[in-house]
A = this chain, B = another copy of it.
Amino acid sequence: MPERGHRNIPGSLKQPLADFKVGVDNAIFSVDTERNRLLILLVKRQDEPFLGQRSLPGTLVRQGESLEDAAYRILAEKIRVENLYLEQLYTFGGPGRDPREDATSYGVRYLSVSYFALVRFAEAELIYQTTGDVAWYPIEDIPKLAFDHERILQYGYQRLRNKLEYSPIAFEVLPEVFTLNDLYQLYTTVLGENFSDYSNFRSRLLKLGFLCDTGIKVSRGAGRPASLYRFDSKAFAPLKDKPLVFI
């Protein structure tokens, strides 16, 4: 959310310092590569405010706990997963973003440091306390969310698309070996049908030089057998800090 150009800045407010509780909210995405669905993890709130409404899984930071540890803690309470990608997304901290803040008294404020995570759908196992308290939702069918979590979700969705364009994040969620069509389906699921045609995508990715043909072919359906590739992290290493576009 960049800000450009001139802005009128109000004079020094001379208000006393604000006191904060700090929350961590996770936008956890997965791509169901079997059914070409992009999913987001939502929980049903067990407490006020917004009791019973859906939200991103979150928690308040405890004494002695780092932001990142809080992000991992909430993740570990909701899903079991071996491989994951996690990074900080954005911090939302405007006054009035939580109804527990009393606007008239300028009481304690609630700031949210959001984290973005990507996990393998097939591998992530949900941890239920009660039926339906945690579930994957397709990105195009999200219920009304508590707090400003729709904004956090949209911000995370944009980050996911940027990551696909500029980084090898797709290989964190694909199986070890995959066909180029699997890879293309993953990109199409997140970026939409029109991001690129298959043959351009294929030739661009192969030219980048970090996809390694395993020599194994698979037959799926009626088409010709397709080659299985794997991501070659050694071949990618020298490209790591170079500007790259994947699509």
CB neighbours of A77 from chain B (8 A): 12
Do the beta carbons of B95 and A64 come within 8 Å of each other?
Answer: yes
> A166: CB under 8 A from chain B?
yes
A51-94: CB near B (< 8 Å → 1, else 0) gives 00000000011111111110011011100001111111011011
In the complex, A3 Cα to B5 Cα: how many Å?
34
Q: Which residues of A78-132 are within 8 A (CB) of B?
A: 82-88, 90-91, 93-95, 106, 111, 113
CB neighbours of A6 from chain B (8 A): 82-84
Q: Which residues of A1-57 are within 8 A (CB) of B?
A: 1-7, 9-10, 12-22
Q: Which of B2, B76, B111, B247 contacts A9 (CB 8 A)?
A: B76
In the complex, A86 Cα to B220 Cα: how many Å?
50
Number of copies: 2
A interface, size bucket: 35 or more
Do the beta carbons of B4 and A63 come within 8 Å of each other?
Answer: no
A214-247: CB near B (< 8 Å → 1, else 0) gives 0000000000000000000000000000011111
CB neighbours of A244 from chain B (8 A): 245
In the complex, A9 Cα to B82 Cα: how many Å?
12
CB neighbours of A150 from chain B (8 A): none
CB neighbours of A90 from chain B (8 A): 88
Do the beta carbons of B165 and A62 come within 8 Å of each other?
Answer: no
> A172: CB under 8 A from chain B?
yes
Do the beta carbons of B17 and A20 come within 8 Å of each other?
Answer: no
Do the beta carbons of B18 and A22 come within 8 Å of each other?
Answer: yes
CB neighbours of A166 from chain B (8 A): 166, 243
Do the beta carbons of A22 and B20 come within 8 Å of each other?
Answer: yes
Q: Which of B13, B65, B111, B172 contacts A13 (CB 8 A)?
A: B65
Given contacts A2-B86, A83-B5, A86-B3, contact A165 B243 (CB under 8 A): yes
Q: Which of B10, B111, B246 contacts A20 (CB 8 A)?
A: B111
